[in-house]
Amino acid sequence: MTTTQVTLVQIDNYGPWTVTPEPRREADLQTMQSRLFADISQFVGNHGGYTFFTRFDNMIAVTNGLTLEDHELLQESVGNRYPVTLSLGVATDASPVQALADATTGVQNAGSAQDENRRECLTGVTVDDADRTAEDVQIAHFDVINATGTYTDELNAFDTFIEIEQGYAELMRHMRYAHDSLSFFVGGDNVIVVCPDLEAGDYEEAIYHVEETVDVELQVGVGRGKTAHDAGYDAKHALETCRADGTRVELEW
């Protein structure tokens, strides 16, 4: 059974900061946000976790393998190097959606995202090391079949973007409400989904739903592991099997 550890990363009082004392240059905000994401992704990734940029002011990470002390170190390091600070909420559950909901509640209970007195709060619990198993995390790596031939080499870059985003939007909603899973666009035509214990039929159903609804054809590789990296790496290998064999769903276990 899965035990997903999810961390909500929220920049403290970011909205007011972007306009104080005057609105800040957009290119500078974009640069700061993407560097902050890169740093968090590297820190979490070095412990086997995955970080998703989501809305940039709120990021979502799968942090199985990171302790509360690791989270504190991340806060300290960002606080020392960036003009903003981070609040973090951590929670675990068999359902990634429930884990994120609990992690979010912890941060919300500590104060508003725009409360200038709420800084660097850290709430929640992590999985006990003794309880961790190789089935804690289930990751599905979706990809649009032949995106290059169907879209990238055929349409202008913006129309390609619309098609890919349509597939992502339908998949993210469906996986959230039908399968209790969290989907994140990670670039190109790829979406990584953090799942509870799902089976091949669930993925087939989701792929069918997206194709019927928005006419975007997907394939998916799925892996399990003790960390997001372990699960995600198996998922990548499974996706390679889809590409080699022309199959739509491959589970690597």
Ligand X SMILES: Nc1nc2c(ncn2[C@@H]2O[C@H](COP(=O)(O)OP(=O)(O)OP(=O)(O)O)[C@@H](O)[C@H]2O)c(=O)[nH]1
For ligand X, the binding residues (CB under 6 A) are 143-148, 186-190, 236, 243
Decide whether 119 or 243 has the Cβ nearer to ligand X: 243
**Rounded to the nearest whole angstrom, what is the least distance from the CB of residue 248 to ligand X in the complex?**
11
How many Å apart are CA 148 and CA 155, to the nearest integer? 10
* Long-range interactions of 31-34: CB distance < 8 A, separation 24+: 32/82, 32/83, 32/84, 33/57
Decide whether 175 or 235 has the Cβ nearer to ligand X: 235
Please enumerate in sequence order all residues whose Cβ is within 8 A of that of 157, keeping only pairs 6 or more positions apart, or say none: none
How many Å apart are CA 229 and CA 252, to the nearest integer? 14
Decide whether 46 or 148 has the Cβ nearer to ligand X: 148
**Rounded to the nearest whole angstrom, what is the least distance from the CB of residue 137 to ligand X in the complex?**
17
Decide whether 83 or 187 has the Cβ nearer to ligand X: 187
**Rounded to the nearest whole angstrom, what is the least distance from the CB of residue 83 to ligand X in the complex?**
28
Closest residue (Cβ) to ligand X?
188
User: Which residue matches tokens 């508003």?
Assistant: 112
Please enumerate in sequence order all residues whose Cβ is within 8 A of that of 33, keeping only pairs 6 or more positions apart, or say none: 56, 57
**Rounded to the nearest whole angstrom, what is the least distance from the CB of residue 178 to ligand X in the complex?**
24
